Amino acid sequence: SCPNGYAMWRGICYKAFNTRKTFDDAAATCGEDGGTLAMPRDATTNDFLVDFHKNNFWIGLRRQGKEGIFEWLDGSTLRTSPIWAPGQPDGRGDCVY
């Protein structure tokens, strides 16, 4: 089971915060609560997160150095992803939401 205010999906507890934050502040808030930003590695988990929160939210993925190279917060590199919206990534930012 998950702590109060969390929802479980595939054995992982998720919590949505409703305060608008920068990527770094959002990551810090998750860390202070004992977690990390969500790292949805498949479309089904991404769909769960979209249904769970309903608003834009940061995930634990950001561009590292070279254009188009994205890395999860755990240090692994994004290979392919079913989570991109049409026309994304567009090269205008370093973080993913």
Average pLDDT rounded to a whole number, residues 43-57: 90
Dist CA 30 CA 82 (whole Å): 24
CATH code at 55? 3.10.100.10
Q: Give pLDDT, residue 56.
A: 87
Q: Give pLDDT, residue 66.
A: 66
Plot region of 40 (φ>0 → left; ψ -120 to 50 → alpha; else → beta)? beta
pLDDT tens digits, residue range 56-85? Answer: 899 998 888 766 688 899 999 887 666 667
Q: Nearest to residue 17, comparing CAs of 1, 39, 38?
A: 38
Q: Which domain holds residue 45?
A: 1-97
Q: Nearest to residue 57, comparing CAs of 96, 30, 84?
A: 96
Q: How many domains does the chain have?
A: 1
Q: Tell me the torsion sign for CA atoms 9, 2, 53, 26.
A: negative
| Confidence class for position 93, pLDDT limits 50, 70, 90 | low
Q: Give pLDDT, residue 82.
A: 61
